[in-house]
Structure 1
Amino acid sequence: MISAASTITAAGDGFTAPGPANFEYPELFSVGGVDVTKPMVQLVLAGILVLAFFWMASRRAAMVPGRLQFAGEGAYNFVRNSVGRDIIGSHDFQRFVPYLVALFFFVLVNNLFASIPFIQFPTFSRSSMAYALAGLSWLIYNGVGIAKHGFVGYLKLQSIPSGVPAAMYPLLVPLEFFSNILVRPVTLALRLFANMFAGHLLLILFATGGLYLVSEYGGAVGVISGIAAWVMAILVSFLEILVQFLQAYVFVLLNAMYIQGALADEH
């Protein structure tokens, strides 16, 4: 398979490797002068699906839950207990649970869109959308910290490590400020975007590469290599489902850690 792909590249037989252009979608329609694209529709659809699921799961709550209520409670408790309570702490976590639950399932549904037939596109493989969500997280955890400690107190907490000699401040304070205040939303978004982008790009490569090898390159080498590429596409698809879940979990876990750090009295 590798040698066949190398031969194709060397021969210049016309295979166009997937790239950023595959993530650009034309407008579907325009609203008030704003061009609406497929990823934008997916964001709205994900919000509707998450809201509808939890509304339907909770609208007829009973002491003995039905299947839908049981699923909703299990989903809610997963984020509430394993992320909210365990990371933020039992004293402060409850008021952040609605945000963390909504955030986790919103990111998860948008990630899973990549594996759903006829959609097959991870919303957060568009960097602007990942950075917008990280920007919202940045506003929330910094706002929480400022509300508790005051603006100056919060900056001091995030910029001056406890137990460090004052002589080290000129070196550490700029690094701590840069790391805790400025870099966090960038790395938060970049982790989500890069994983969704790379996974989808890999799937396109194996799928279209396999088709090219079978239909255009031909011969025994082309057919065998093409089929092997399709098998890899199937395997990567299953791996991507795991990655989609893990990236949603990591995103909300880091949000909880940042909130906990903003509320803490010591850095």
Structure 2
Amino acid sequence: MFGITMAESGGEFSPPGPNSFDFGAVPLFTVGEYAVTKPVVQLLLGALVVFVFFYAATRRASMVPGRMQFAGEAAYGMVRNSIARDIIGSHDYRKFVPYLVTLFFFLLVNNAFASIPLIQFPTFSRASMAYALAALSWVVYNAVGIRKHGFVGYLKLQSVPSGVTPLMYPLLVPLEFFSNILVRPVTLALRLFANMFAGHLLLILFSTGGLFLIEYGGIGYIAGPLAWVLAIAISFLELLVQFLQAYVFTLLNAMYISGPLADEH
């Protein structure tokens, strides 16, 4: 369930580590030599959950919304107003709302899998998943900038700081290019991955460590239950982190999109 790595060997505790995040192939989703792992299944499930929710919220839309329509409108409006419109601006934000809404709720559902019984694994605690999503974001916001300014114009916008004497260009241009073009997707993915990874690792540590302490006996009869109390507290903290990471990832996407667009106004 947690990817437990605790092993009692000579009375020693084997702490969890990166191998706790490795999963074998899911039998029902293995075709020949091609294997599908649990995180991949969760990505597909997350996309399905988001689609079903918004389809159910809009398929019988009316002037007087029911509970499902009201929930869908509130969820859509939160991203539309507090992220897309406020960050990108009222002139250009509408065309990016579907992307940002999908991105936010896809992230939120996959993060929330960490707290759902029988799943209990955050999809984006696997670095490859986080970097793939960041790569998609990189393509989107760079495509927006190139479309607005052209390839050369966009590179100039991102690499040549305004209000700086040309004598500083040899120093600042490579730094700006490295920061705005190359590093952004790395930091975008790393922030999401590291938070999901660390939170899940702490849950494994306190859960399995509490069990080990109780089995060890002695002071462990007191320390073990305390470790489980901490695991419960961290679980509630993770609920907040799951939402914040989805929000921050989407917010930064909106900021990156707004950069070249704001220059036009």
Alignment TM-score, normalising by the size of structure 1: 0.93
Tell me, in whole angstroms, the C-alpha distance in 2 between the residues paired with 1:265 and 1:46. Answer: 36
Tell me, in whole angstroms, the C-alpha distance in 2 between the residues paired with 1:161 and 1:80. Answer: 31
Relative to structure 1, is the Cα distance of residues 118 and 88 closer, same or farther in structure 2, using a 3 angstrom cutoff?
same
Q: Deviations over 1:87-119 (max 9, x none)?
A: 000000000000000000000000000000000
Where 1:31 maps in the other structure, the secondary structure is: coil
Tell me, in whole angstroms, the C-alpha distance in 2 between the residues paired with 1:59 and 1:32. Answer: 39
1:32-51 map, 5 Å = 33-51=33-51
Contact 1:134 1:188 in 2 (8 A): yes
Tell me, in whole angstroms, the C-alpha distance in 2 between the residues paired with 1:76 and 1:31. Answer: 37
Partner in structure 2 of residue 256 of structure 1 = 254
Cα distance, 1:263 vs. partner?
1.9
Q: Which runs of 5+ in 1 are unaligned?
A: 1-10
Q: Which amino acid aligns with 2:98?
A: P
Tell me, in whole angstroms, the C-alpha distance in 1 between the residues paired with 2:211 and 2:98. Answer: 45
Partner in structure 2 of residue 138 of structure 1 = 138
Tell me, in whole angstroms, the C-alpha distance in 1 between the residues paired with 2:110 and 2:40. Answer: 11
1:82-161 map, 5 Å = 82-161=82-161
Q: Deviations over 1:240-267 (max 9, x none)?
A: 000000000000000000000132327x
Contact 2:15 2:205 in 1 (8 A): yes
Tell me, in whole angstroms, the C-alpha distance in 2 between the residues paired with 1:91 and 1:233. Answer: 46
Match of 2:234 among 214, 236, 239: 236
Q: Which amino acid aligns with 1:76?
A: Y
Partner in structure 2 of residue 14 of structure 1 = 12
Query: How big is the alpha-carbon RMSD for the aligned residues of Structure 1 and Structure 2?
Result: 1.2
Tell me, in whole angstroms, the C-alpha distance in 2 between the residues paired with 1:182 and 1:141. Answer: 13
1:217-228 map, 5 Å = 217-219=216-218, 221-228=219-226
Partner in structure 2 of residue 68 of structure 1 = 68
Contact 2:88 2:262 in 1 (8 A): no
Contact 1:158 1:181 in 2 (8 A): yes
Tell me, in whole angstroms, the C-alpha distance in 2 between the residues paired with 1:185 and 1:100. Answer: 16
Q: Which runs of 5+ in 2 are unaligned?
A: 1-8
1:203-218 map, 5 Å = 203-215=203-215, 217-218=216-217
Contact 1:58 1:72 in 2 (8 A): yes
Contact 2:50 2:105 in 1 (8 A): yes
Contact 1:142 1:262 in 2 (8 A): no
Alignment TM-score, normalising by the size of structure 2: 0.94
Number of residue-to-residue matches in the alignment: 254
Q: Deviations over 1:143-186 (max 9, x none)?
A: 01001100000000000111111111011000000000000000
Where 2:12 maps in the other structure, the secondary structure is: coil
Partner in structure 2 of residue 4 of structure 1 = none
Tell me, in whole angstroms, the C-alpha distance in 2 between the residues paired with 1:116 and 1:150. Answer: 45
Where 1:229 maps in the other structure, the secondary structure is: helix
Tell me, in whole angstroms, the C-alpha distance in 2 between the residues paired with 1:201 and 1:212. Answer: 16
Tell me, in whole angstroms, the C-alpha distance in 2 between the residues paired with 1:166 and 1:32. Answer: 60
Cα distance, 1:32 vs. partner?
6.0
Contact 2:137 2:253 in 1 (8 A): yes
Cα distance, 1:12 vs. partner?
6.7
Tell me, in whole angstroms, the C-alpha distance in 1 between the residues paired with 2:209 and 2:48. Answer: 36
* Percent of matched pairs sharing the same residue: 74
